[in-house]
Amino acid sequence: MMPAIYPTFLLESPLQLVFFGGKGGVGKSTCAAAAALMLAQEQPHHRFLLVSTDPAHSLQNILSGLILPKNLEVHELNAAAVLHKFKSLHEEDLKEIAYRGTFLDKNDVQGLMDTALPGMDEIAAYLEIARWIQTDTYHRIIIDTAPTGHTLRLLEMPDLIHRWLIALDTLLAKQRYIRKRFRGDNRLDHLDHFLLGMNDSLKTMQGLVTDSARCCFVLVMLAETMSVEESIDLADALHRQRVFLSDLVVNRLSPENGCPTCCVERNRQMLALRNVCQRLPEHAFWTLPLLAAEPRGALLHEFWSGVHRLDETKMMTTNRHHQLPLHVENPISLPAKTFRLLFFAGKGGVGKTTLACATALRLHNEYPALRILLFSADPAHSLGDCLGFTLQQQPIPVLMNLDAQEINAKADFDKIRQGYRAELAAFLLDTLPNLDITFDREMMEHLLDLAPPGLDDIMALTTIMAHLDSDRYDMVIVDTAPSGHLLRLLELPELVRDWLKQFFSLLLKYRKVMRFPHLSERLVQLSRELKNLLALLRDTKQTGLYAVTVPTHLALEKTHEMACALQRLGLRAKGLFINQITPPRDCLLCQAITRRESLELKRAGDIFPNQPQTHIFRQTEPTGLCELKTLGSALFS
């Protein structure tokens, strides 16, 4: 039996499902891997499963060199493989449902399903987790989630799958009625059983996720302003989804000592912790210390030995006099003002938002007539927190000729869906004699629910094109989602373009039955924006990308993988920012970290031999326009 000083998620209990989540770069994967390892070792009579749902997996890297206990399995969900399995099992059933339930012919159904199914990787992943739960193979499943935005999509899957199942069930309703009315046949066929089985999986998963005795969410965070703000947003979202948030783990807490670097970090962390504790008073907070060595491999065995319940009395003793001066080495050339689109990309938590803001302010200072938009494409926005502004769906001014925007893509797509249904209702009033209103109306109402998931995300990118095409802005600087989500986002335009082509062909073919001028106009506009976006992404003279990383083994691995994937999409980084480097000090901890980071900096030079690299050392957290302007002036020559 483990001592009671440990958090509940590390103890033997009825818990079946434990999520580890939070902002990118806070150590979710490390916490999840170390927890699974500890549980498996302490409870050899139980089987455990450690799963990563992050498109940019890091579990294998973290566990490298370890011999795992026999009662612990590790699985990194491969979206493409899961989708292939899902399609091989269910594609024919889905096509048959669509063919039976609509006036579409087999070629129409084939085209619609071929273009809709590729976007269903998140649905397939969610159902795969549900299948593991239903088989009851494991005593506990530990899930290493993607950064906040992607995690929220995963937790919202029940609503999406529910809409999707209603759409499919509606397609079968007409034939079910005819069978009963004219044949007296109430029996369920194989397609009914297919939908009922999926619905049972959904209910099982929903019941588990909202049961606080069997499921909990462990929120991992850093004690810094933007991590705190995103953690509070995530806590609110979990509450709305009725997911039990058990504990908050504050990772990498600096020690109390006389080192200027440690002192500044500690003071900043205490102020941030005071803020989050006041705003989330009902939750338990646990702390983990900043470690000299990166916690990978065998070091995971001791990872949780340093966990302590947060002592709130120590948060009152802060000294604000110490400051870490800004220090940047090897500044790179300022982006040319002829660029129309600039991306800042990298693993979560490396400072993309900060550098995007600092760059926008530097460009604004150099070219005051240039109309610039700072745009957040991360579902878990932090642009406003960094700037010190409350941002909205529409661009708001930060300075003269510099605006910022945080878009809610899901809300925008919901407006299209609502507009479509209103247009459908008006259309049916005119054509009522020609349609079996009971079934055809329901089928047509749910037609957009069969669109590929991710269509809403694409609308965020096409919003950028709408701004550029309207000549409202000369340049858009994009604070991207963490690398896994970004790569998926950049792969979606081709998929959505194919779906739009298929949808247009249906509207044209059945124009006497389906007339939706407003929907058609909006989809034509979306298609045009997509075409322009794809062309702009491939134009290296107008589109630039800067990679951002930190000097750790894992971050450099992920940055290299991201750079290779982006290059395959035609995007090559114009520079690499290595952020959060520890300045040399007399402190033994800082010395050890500096030695480790020096090796990683050398490795970065080997991995990216032809890439300009700027080194940014740890500093007092740059938030607000004044600090960001100072940083921007140092980043570029």
Q: Tokens representing 349?
A: 């938590």
* Type of residue at 271: L
Statement: residue 553 has pLDDT above 50:
yes
Instruction: Tell me phi and psi for residue 321, to 5 degrees.
Output: -75, -30
Write out pLDDT tens, residues 89-115: 777 887 777 666 555 566 665 665 565
**Overall average pLDDT of the 184-203 stretch:** 81
Percent of the chain's residues with pLDDT above 70: 76
pLDDT score, position 377: 77
Indicate the pTM of the whole model: 0.78
Closest CA to 544 of 327, 356, 292: 356
> Across all residues in the chain, what is the average pLDDT?
82
Statement: residue 439 has pLDDT above 50:
no
**Overall average pLDDT of the 36-49 stretch:** 96
Same topology, domains 8-78+133-149+208-314 and 328-407+542-635? Answer is yes
Give the Cα separation of 215 and 238 in Å (integer): 12
**443 confidence band (pLDDT: 50, 70, 90):** low
Listed range (83-92, 123-132, 198-207, 430-439) with the worst mean pLDDT: 430-439
Order of strands across the sheet that contains 341-345: 328-329, 613-617, 575-581, 543-549, 341-345, 475-479, 372-376, 402-406, 396-399
Give strand pairing partners of 616.
Answer: 328
pLDDT score, position 369: 96
**154 confidence band (pLDDT: 50, 70, 90):** confident
pLDDT score, position 321: 52
**Assigned CATH for 8-78+133-149+208-314:** 3.40.50.300
pLDDT score, position 118: 43
**62 confidence band (pLDDT: 50, 70, 90):** very high
Percent of the chain's residues with pLDDT above 90: 38
Give the Cα separation of 394 and 166 in Å (integer): 33
Sign of the alpha-carbon torsion through 616, 573, 402, 392: negative
Residue 591: CA atoms inside 13 Å, Cβ hemisphere, count?
5
pLDDT score, position 491: 67
Write out pLDDT tens, residues 449-468: 555 555 666 666 778 888 88
SS (H, E, C) 501-570: HHHHHHHHHCCCCCCCHHHHHHHHHHHHHHHHHHHHHCCCCCEEEEEEECCCHHHHHHHHHHHHHHHHCC
Which comes out higher in pLDDT, residue 518 or 611?
611
SS (H, E, C) 201-269: HHHHHHHHHCCCCCEEEEEEEECCHHHHHHHHHHHHHHHHCCCCEEEEEEEEECCCCCCHHHHHHHHHH
Statement: residue 252 has pLDDT above 90:
yes
Give the Cα separation of 141 and 182 in Å (integer): 49
Burial grade of 522 (CB within 10 A; 0-12, 13-18, 19 or more): middle
> Between β-strands 308-309 and 575-581, what pairing exists: parallel, antiparallel or unpaired?
unpaired
Listed range (195-204, 205-214, 480-489, 515-524) with the worst mean pLDDT: 515-524
Write out pLDDT tens, residues 307-364: 999 877 666 555 555 677 889 999 999 999 999 999 998 888 899 999 999 999 999 9
**Overall average pLDDT of the 439-451 stretch:** 57
**123 confidence band (pLDDT: 50, 70, 90):** low
The correct answer on CATH 3.40.50.620 for the domain covering 328-407+542-635 is no
Give the Cα separation of 93 and 190 in Å (integer): 9
**1 confidence band (pLDDT: 50, 70, 90):** very low
Residue 197: partners with Cβ closer than 8 Å, 6 or more residues away: none
pLDDT score, position 424: 63
pLDDT score, position 197: 84
Statement: residue 429 has pLDDT above 70:
no
Give the Cα separation of 426 and 439 in Å (integer): 17
Q: Tokens representing 441?
A: 């109306």
pLDDT score, position 470: 87
* Type of residue at 570: G
Give the Cα separation of 494 and 54 in Å (integer): 22
Statement: residue 256 has pLDDT above 60:
yes
pLDDT score, position 409: 66
pLDDT score, position 2: 45
Q: Tokens representing 474?
A: 């000369």
Statement: residue 3 has pLDDT above 50:
no
Q: How many helices (H) and strands (E) does the chain have?
A: 20, 17
Statement: residue 296 has pLDDT above 60:
yes
**Overall average pLDDT of the 427-452 stretch:** 55
**What residue spans define the domains of the chain?**
8-78+133-149+208-314, 328-407+542-635
pLDDT score, position 33: 96
**431 confidence band (pLDDT: 50, 70, 90):** low
